């Protein structure tokens, strides 16, 4: 701690919690592209850095995959919205009597099911749009948790992936 001493400053006068913090974080480094992390971190699943040093052709292919998935998600939202509107319209023409109509609960269930599917499709589209933004920003393909390169096979299977397989598995176990 004495290496911090200078004109008008003496480390021995610091409060104990500050000294403790300094001693426990002195081995850390700031990774400008991500967050604070300990230099003692072990393991990892690939390369560090923005876009994890992917080739131009690989990034172009991944961009195309994202674009195709965005189109599919948009088409699914449109189809489900038409289906939802048709359910609402058919129930408006002849409103079911919930007490006496055996189809009343089926219509309500069907409407709720399609509404949930629309919400899910919109969420997927939003995730794909965020993936596109990360790709344009140069951060696509880097794990948000550990900063390691996400394998291209994972990105092809799940273009909106934000974490490597190891971190995603850890995250899933934590939530379970």
Under 8 Å between Cβ of 46 and 151: yes
The whole domain housing 72 covers 54-140
- Tally of structural domains, the chain: 1
What is the pLDDT tens value at each position of the chain, 176 positions in all?
566 666 777 777 777 777 666 666 666 655 544 444 433 333 444 444 444 568 889 999 999 999 999 999 999 999 999 999 998 888 777 655 555 556 556 777 888 999 999 999 999 999 999 999 999 888 899 999 888 899 999 999 999 999 999 999 988 888 87
Q: What is the per-residue pLDDT for 7?
A: 72
> Which residues does 92 contact at the CB level (< 8 Å), separation at least 6?
none
- The whole-angstrom separation of Cα 64 and Cα 87 is 35
Residue 102 lies in a domain: yes
Chain-centre distance for alpha carbon 28: 26
> Which residues does 125 contact at the CB level (< 8 Å), separation at least 6?
70, 73, 74, 77
Residue 165 lies in a domain: no
18 φ, ψ (degrees, to nearest 5): -70, -45
Residue 118 lies in a domain: yes
pTM (two decimals): 0.64
Q: What is the per-residue pLDDT for 3?
A: 64
Residue 174 lies in a domain: no
Residue 28 lies in a domain: no
Residue 69 lies in a domain: yes
Dihedral (CA of 10, 12, 16, 18) sign: positive
- Residue 116 has which token pair? 């949930």
Shortest CA distance to 160 belongs to which of 120, 119, 126, 117? 126
Q: What is the CATH number of the domain that holds 81?
A: 1.10.287
Residue 78 lies in a domain: yes
Residue 119 lies in a domain: yes
Looking at the chain, list the stretches that DSSP marks H as alpha helix, in order from N- to C-terminal side.
16-25, 56-93, 104-137, 152-157, 165-175
Cα–Cα distance list, 23 to 30, 32, 164 (Å): 16, 22, 31
DSSP percent split of the chain into helix, strand, coil, nearest 5: 60, 5, 30
Q: What is the per-residue pLDDT for 108?
A: 79
Q: What is the per-residue pLDDT for 37?
A: 43
- The whole-angstrom separation of Cα 44 and Cα 39 is 12
């Amino acid at each position: 701690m004495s290496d911090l001493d200078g004109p008008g400053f003496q480390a021995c006068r610091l409060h104990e919690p500050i000294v403790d913090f300094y001693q426990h974080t002195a081995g850390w480094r700031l990774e400008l592209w991500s967050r604070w992390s300990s230099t003692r971190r072990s393991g990892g699943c690939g390369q560090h850095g923005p876009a994890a040093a992917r080739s131009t052709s690989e990034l172009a292919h991944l961009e195309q995959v994202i674009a195709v998935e965005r189109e599919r998600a948009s088409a699914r939202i449109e189809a489900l919205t038409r289906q939802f509107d048709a359910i609402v319209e058919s129930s408006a023409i002849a409103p079911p009597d919930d007490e006496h109509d055996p189809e009343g609960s089926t219509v309500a269930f069907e409407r709720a099911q399609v509404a949930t599917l629309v919400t899910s499709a919109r969420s997927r589209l939003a995730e794909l749009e965020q993936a596109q933004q990360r790709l344009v920003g140069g951060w696509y393909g880097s794990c948000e948790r550990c900063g390691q390169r996400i394998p291209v096979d994972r990105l092809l299977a799940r273009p909106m992936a934000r974490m490597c397989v190891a971190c995603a598995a850890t995250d899933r176990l934590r939530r379970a």
